[in-house]
Amino acid sequence: MASNLQDRVVAARLQLRERFLQKQRATPALSDPRPQGSGPPNRHGMPRLPPDQVAAQKWPVLDLGVKPDLPLESWSLAVDGAVEAPLRLSWAEFLALPQVEEESDFHCVTGWSLLDARFAGVPFATLAALARPLPSASHVLVHAADGYSTNLPLEEALKDDVLLVHGWEGKPLPQDHGGPVRMVTPQLWAWKGAKWVTRLEFLEEDRKGFWELRGYSNTAHPWRNDRYDG
């Protein structure tokens, strides 16, 4: 059964990759001829630190002032919207999916970057592959238990390093940092990765999330210093 699931996920991810590959290659973090920032090249050829960023020694805690308590026995993740096969996963079902460990950077718009963080979790692309986005699907809105939301175009969300994270530095993701599950988006500003994720809603057109509605950039490209609208 596990092998069959793995095969289905791999095949569906390959189809999605083919569908969005050209758009992914054109995204700024992979194609910008004049990226801003400092330091040696990162994993994608961009400067290690985006402009006006400093390396953090610890992972600061930022939130909306609410820290939801989500017991694992009642937590679930809905994947729905513009998809062929909507699903809802329990904690055990989420952990039964193919898992990855990824070392990546985390860039916060407030001026700090957490470098070489070790995350464990499920690739967003795996969840998308299971749900099978409709041909018309173009974006995803990520919903969190504290009322937060954020939006991404699928060419960004489907990148290999975008994860639904449940582990950090070899331990379960702490509640303060969005445990049991948060999203990380290493090639965009970190607000594009919600804490306490409970729903992935696929969309046929863009819909702004919490900070995007309040003046933050809708595109959020760190190496263009793309922090706020206007």
Residue pLDDT, tens place only, 147-200: 999 999 999 999 999 999 999 999 999 999 999 999 999 999 999 999 999 999
68-86 in b/e form (b: 16+ CB < 10 A) is bebeeeebebbbebbbeee
User: Encoding tokens for residue 155?
Assistant: 């060419």
- Residue 175, burial from CB neighbour count under 10 angstroms (0-12, 13-18, 19+): middle
Q: What is the pTM of this model?
A: 0.94
Detail the DSSP E strand segments found in 42-181: 47-49, 54-55, 76-81, 87-90, 100-108, 112-123, 139-144, 149-153, 163-168, 171-172
DSSP state of 16: H
pLDDT of residue 5: 73
User: Would you say 199 and 78 are in contact if contact means Cβ atoms under 8 Å apart?
Assistant: yes
pLDDT of residue 2: 62
Q: Could you read off the pLDDT of 193-229 as tens digits, one per residue?
A: 999 999 999 999 999 999 999 999 999 999 999 999 8
**pLDDT exceeds 90 at position 130:** yes
**pLDDT exceeds 70 at position 1:** no
Domains along the chain? 2-224 (3.90.420.10)
Helices (H) and strands (E) in the chain, counts: 6, 13
Note the residue count of the chain: 230
